[in-house]
Amino acid sequence: MAPAEASSVLIVSRDTNNALVAQAYFQLCDIAATTCNRVEAPGDFRGISTVVVFPDDFSALSSAQGVRHLVRRFPVAMVIVVTVAVDFFEGLASKMDLPAPRRVFVFPRPIWGWTLLDRVLKSHRPLNT
């Protein structure tokens, strides 16, 4: 199970309970997961392959800026945005100048854990498979 072993997830959420539930789910699936309650993501997060951010937990202005910041801060990581404002964040993602195959994925909130897990596992596979 090489993709899971290589995966490392950073969960960015102000809702500690939500972040801990997501972290526990990933860890049950043998994926290293760390939580952070700030979009600035202070600290040394080496080897992060996927960032899962819940921008609705933050103010509207800081959430949009925060998503942009996370995309820049983790240039090789896939960024998954889980939000009720799907159209807004899809528009934001489409305006970002991202090199292929770098992607920002937007999922509606609430979301099932297996949907996130499937996307995280795909972060180490070519997008055309």
Dihedral sign (CA 44, 48, 51, 57): negative
pLDDT at site 81? 93
Of 3.40.50.1820, 3.40.50.2300, 3.40.50.300, 3.50.50.60, which CATH number belongs to 2-122? Answer: 3.40.50.2300
Q: What ranges do the domains of the chain cover? A: 2-122
Position of tokens 């933050």? 58
> Could you report the per-residue pLDDT of 7-30, keeping only the tens digit for each?
789 999 999 998 999 999 999 988
pTM assigned to the model: 0.83
Per DSSP, 36 falls in state E
Per DSSP, 91 falls in state H
- How confident is the prediction for the chain on average, in pLDDT? 82
Q: Do the beta carbons of residue 15 and residue 43 sit within 8 Å? A: no
Residue 50 pairs in a beta bridge with 9, 78
> Could you report the per-residue pLDDT of 38-94, keeping only the tens digit for each?
888 677 777 888 999 999 988 877 788 888 889 888 888 889 999 999 999 988 888
> Among residues of the chain, what percentage have pLDDT more than 70?
84
Residue 73 phi, psi (nearest 5):
-65, -35
Instruction: Collapse the DSSP code of 1 into the 3-class scheme (helix H, G, I; strand E, B; otherwise coil) and give the result.
Output: coil
